[in-house]
Amino acid sequence: MTYSAILDEFPKLRVLVAGDVCLDRWCRYDPALALPSRETGIPRIGVVATAVTPGAAGTIASNLAALGAGEVAVLGMVGVDGFGYELRSALALRGISHELLVDAPAVPTFTYTKLINAQTGEEDLPRVDFVYTNPLPESVERELIARLERTAPSYDLILVSDQAETSQGGVVTPAMRASLARLALARPDKLIWVDSRLRAEHFRHAVVKPNQQEAEAASLRALGRVDYPQLRRRMQARCLVVTHGGKGALVVDESGQRWVPAKAVANPVDICGAGDSFSAGAAMALVVTGDPLQATRFGNLVAGITIMKKGTGTASPQEVRAVAESPIP
């Protein structure tokens, strides 16, 4: 299929993104306003402008919407706070349904605050993260799983974003992983695509996409050695897709290990969110084509477009068509 033929199928797809939906706050500060506090003497950070975007699972959802998916919804947890309001508004602005988000009054909205120097345009101060390190409240976990099991059958694709890097994890708990595994077994026609930073080896019966570092760590935890074919068998994964940044990705399935190179991109502007844009493009392409190699090539192309944009950029169908209007071998 050509890239255009794949893109033409995207408006027919209904996609659910389940996992750690967070808020990215991009705060531009003026160094000239770093006046010391009269009370403490500590210089202040004078923020002069703020923009917000959906982050983590929200970044994947934004990429899906930008690529033309017919319907995109997110399932996750959000605090009853100002950041939660901003997150819902940012999702709605992009045409992403947030009705499946579960309100958690005792939990802060998962938020990344990024401080950008207004004079240089660079992020040069430590990020300020609002995280939750306690176990997920049982009532919230039950409601998340209930909503997943109730709504999943109506979607063509489920993308799982397990991004929390705390020891307790985030929204994607062991109980949710078990629910996803049951769903995959009951509906083998449904594609479940997983992106997990710290727990890839615990998912079953899905397509799992770690980057090289995450895959090696998962394999070492599970097997004591780096062995991707055995890791895939252990996870009973339909396919393991290990991304290697701008070099490409390794596809591991029943046919063995096959390398899919990416087109070289000179001087990328910002690689933040490249994995999310790859997942959005590759997962939808896999639903359309059924071919992991074609899907990986498409994901590489989408990621190559987004890394030429500041922040967690997205790619439009027009941009994809402009880059390549040729058959995928």
Q: What is the pTM of this model?
A: 0.93
Is a pLDDT exceeding 50 seen at residue 310? yes
Domain ranges of the chain: 3-21+57-109+135-323
The dihedral formed by the CA atoms of 216, 220, 223 and 229, expressed in degrees to the nearest 10: 10
Rounded mean pLDDT, 96-110: 96
Which CATH number does 3-21+57-109+135-323 carry? 3.40.1190.20
Alpha-carbon gap, residue 136 to 125, rounded angstroms: 30
Of 210 and 38, the one with more pLDDT: 210
Residue 270's pLDDT is: 81
The single-letter code of the amino acid at 36 is: P
Mean pLDDT of the chain: 94
Q: What is the mean pLDDT of residues 243-247?
A: 94
Mean pLDDT of 178-195: 96
Tokens of 1: 């299929």
Eight-state DSSP code of residue 175: H
Do 136 and 170 touch, CB atoms closer than 8 A?
A: yes
CB under 8 Å to 303, separation ≥6 — which residues? 262, 274, 275, 277, 278, 281
pLDDT at site 17: 98
Which one-letter DSSP state was computed for residue 68?
A: T
Helical H runs in the chain?
3-9, 57-66, 82-93, 138-151, 174-186, 212-223, 228-235, 274-289, 292-306, 317-323
pLDDT at 199 > cutoff 50 = yes
pLDDT tens per residue, range 125-157: 999 999 998 999 999 999 999 999 999 999 999
Please choose, from the candidates 276, 275, 199, 191, the residue with its C-alpha nearest in 3D space to the C-alpha of residue 235.
199
Q: State the average pLDDT over residues 61-79.
A: 97
- pLDDT band, residue 328 (cuts 50/70/90): very low
